[in-house]
Amino acid sequence: MRRLSILGSTGSIGKQTLEVVRNAPEDFMVEALTCNSDADTLYSQVIEFRPKVCCVVDEKKAAELSSRLKNEGIDTEVLSGREGNITAATLDSCDTLVGAIVGFAGLEPVYHAVLSGKDIALANKETLVAGGDIIMPLIREKGVKMLPIDSEHSAIWQCLKGEKRDDLDRIMITASGGPFRGMTRDKLENVTRENALQHPTWNMGGKITIDSSTMMNKGLEIIEAHHLFGISVDNIDVVIHPQSVIHSMIKMKDGSVLAQMGRPSMILPIEVALYYPERGTAIVEEFDPFDAALSNLTFERCDTDVFRLVGLAYEAGRRGGLVPTVMNAANESAVRAFLAGRIGFLDIERTVFETVEKMDAVIGNTELTIDSVEQADTDARAYADELIDGKSCS
Ligand code: NAD
Ligand code: MG
């Protein structure tokens, strides 16, 4: 039985994790549930799963939730703030943290959970992009497991089972291509928030949906794969595969290519992570090669002249240090501004490029620690926000 702290339980991955738990309550115990501000959803989750503690980062909403639960006679402890997330991540009674927070905010609780010896089932890719050089050595030092949930990384991880790491030649990360596949730069200039939120194959939270439309999601995933599998970003290729059936491939040194397939659903990668090294039972509809809609699998190159953030991510991954941290922070600020209707679509890319260029000199040879990563994130956001204020159309 796994005893779970689910951080970001009210989001897309958090809810799907609870779906896996609901399907096999005898296999899991929910010890903690946390969210940023959606106290109503958290309330229903607490009523259903009765965790020991829960946390709403927003203090006012946490206080309201606390009195609501007390009135119902439910003794789940309600925490708040960043500290509350850390307490939830490090509970003695929990053995596995599910990292389903979106963005850099997920790094701090994951860091503390590893320090306190928890296995990490990780969806929150920004944690590894910004802090992979700190988290992965700590994972090895503490002897805990890193269980990838991101579907491409779950696929690679499954393909690598039983293989010698030295026999791995290349990783081919697949991507649907997002809603703007095949578009020119001119057309991209005028796409709207609504266009960008229409993902062709996946139903996900807002930030990752926008990252998929700019292809930054693939950029972040290249760096995530570099950290998870100890492979240089130059040995990772992006393969556009619009059907999202092959979740990624690996090529071994003898030329053999291994792939993992399934319908586009995060339930399966969540199950693979939470049952490791066992297997759970099938919850979602399985891949059927005779389903006409899924049987025609196609592949294309990624156009990095159009989707320039992919090229920037390769460059950031090659340079390492705090460069990916800065890139990630600028992207988070820019995506938030785009979702708020403050900047245009290509302003996301411009903001990220300009911030990385500007911060380059400042971050220089800064030693990599959890504090210097936090500082670089804060500084890059501040600079990106200034740029956004200058571009802002509201
Ligand atoms: P989402 O926006 O649906 O949910 C985010 C969750 O994080 C919510 O519960 C929210 O309350 C919580 N949260 C946000 N900021 C927080 C903060 N400062 N402190 C504490 N909690 C906070 O996002 P999502 O789509 O579920 O994505 C979560 C993560 O998983 C992201 O890093 C994303 O890249 C990754 N991921 C998502 C999918 C998917 O299908 N949704 C697939 C692969 C990877
Ligand atoms: Mg993914």
CB 39 within 8 A of CB 62: yes
Q: Which residue has the tokens 């702290």?
A: 5
Asked whether 293 and 45 are in contact (CB, 8 A), the reply is no
Decide whether any atom of ligand 1 lies within 6 Å of the 85 Cβ: yes
| Ligand 1 atom with minimal separation from the 220 CA | 34
Counting from 1 in the atom list of ligand 1, the atom nearest the Cα of 127 is 32
Q: Give helix 345-363 / helix 323-339 axis angle, nearest 10°.
A: 150
Helices (H) and strands (E) in the chain, counts: 17, 12
Which string of DSSP letters, residue by residue, matches 305-356? TTSHHHHHHHHHHHH-TTHHHHHHHHHHHHHHHHHTTSS-HHHHHHHHHHHH
pLDDT of residue 392: 67
Domain ranges in the chain? 2-148, 153-301, 321-388
Establish whether residue 205 lines the binding site of ligand 1, counting it when its CB lies within 6 angstroms of any ligand atom: yes
| Ligand showing the shortest atom-to-Cα distance for residue 215 | 2
Task: Return the pLDDT at 222.
Answer: 98
Q: For residue 50, what are the contacts with CB-CB under 8 A and spacing of at least 6?
A: 30, 74, 76
In one-letter notation, the amino acid at residue 166 is: D
For residue 197, what pLDDT is reported?
95
SS3 helix, strand, coil % of the chain, rounded to 5?
55, 15, 30
Please state, rounded to an integer, the average pLDDT across all residues of the chain: 96
36: Cβ below 6 Å to ligand 1? yes
pLDDT recorded at residue 246 = 97
319 exposure class (CB count in 10 Å sphere: 0-12, 13-18, 19+): middle
Gap from CA of 15 to ligand 1 centroid (Å):
10
The fold of 321-388 is Rna Polymerase Sigma Factor; Chain: A (1.10.1740)
pLDDT of the residue at 393: 58
Q: Is 148 in the pocket of ligand 1 (CB under 6 A)?
A: no
pLDDT recorded at residue 367: 87
Pocket lining: 101 vs ligand 1, CB cutoff 6 Å: yes
Residue 368: which residues within 8 A CB-CB, separation 6 or more?
Answer: 133, 134, 321, 322
- Output the residue whose Cα is nearest ligand 1's atom 4: 11
Strands (E), the chain: 2-7, 28-35, 53-56, 77-80, 96-99, 119-122, 146-148, 168-175, 236-240, 246-252, 257-261, 300-301
Closest ligand 1 atom, residue 105 Cα:
18
Cα–Cα distance for residue pair 386/199, rounded to 1 Å: 29
Can you tell me the distance from the alpha carbon of 81 to that of 83, in angstroms, rounded to the nearest whole number? 5
Atom of ligand 1 nearest to the CA of 207: 2
Q: Do the Cβ atoms of 6 and 55 come closer than 8 Å?
A: no
For residue 360, what pLDDT is reported?
85
Q: What is the dihedral of CA 139, 160, 233, 134, to 10 degrees?
A: 0
For the CA of 123, the closest atom of ligand 1 is 30
Alpha-carbon distance values, 6 to 29, 94, 187, 299 (Å)? 11, 10, 40, 35
CA of 57 to the centre of ligand 1 (A): 14
- Burial of 86-108, coded b for 16+ CB within 10 Å and e otherwise, reads bbbbbbeebbbbbbbbbbbbbbb
Please enumerate in sequence order all residues whose Cβ is within 8 A of that of 75, keeping only pairs 6 or more positions apart, or say none.
none
Is residue 29 a contact partner of residue 1, using CB atoms and an 8 Å limit? yes
User: Using a 6 Å cutoff on CB, does residue 14 contact ligand 1?
Assistant: yes
Using the mean position of ligand 1's atoms as its centre, give its distance from the Cα of residue 167 in Å: 34
- Of all residues in the chain, the percent with pLDDT exceeding 70 is 99
> Angle at CA 74, nearest 5°, toward 110 and 122?
15
- Would you say the CB of residue 139 lies under 6 angstroms from ligand 1? no
State if residue 108 touches ligand 1 by the CB under 6 angstroms criterion. Answer: no
Indicate whether residue 204 lines ligand 1 (CB < 6 A). yes
Please report the pLDDT score of residue 381 as a whole number: 98
Residue 266 near ligand 1, beta carbon < 6 Å: yes
The span from the first CA to the last CA of the chain, in angstroms, equals: 51
Which residues, given as ranges, of the chain have pLDDT below 50?
none
| Beta-carbon count within 10 A of 228 CB | 23
Ligand 1 and 100: CB distance under 6 A? yes
Quickly name the fold that domain 2-148 has: Rossmann fold (3.40.50)
Task: Report residue 347 as tokens.
Answer: 């302003």
Number of neighbouring beta carbons within 10 Å of residue 74? 14
For residue 109 and ligand 1, the question of a CB distance below 6 A is answered with: no
Residue 125 CA: nearest ligand 1 atom is 32
pLDDT at 203: 83
For 77, the 3-state DSSP assignment is: strand
Say how far apart CA 384 and CA 378 lie, in whole Å. Answer: 10
pLDDT at 127: 98
* CA 221 / ligand 2 centre spacing (Å): 7
pLDDT confidence of residue 252:
98
Q: Considering every ligand atom, which ligand is closest to the CA of 331?
A: 1
Q: Which ligand is the nearest neighbour of the Cα of 238?
A: 2
Which ligand is nearest to the Cα of residue 332, counting in written order?
1
Please identify, by atom number, the ligand 1 atom nearest to the C-alpha of residue 208. Answer: 34
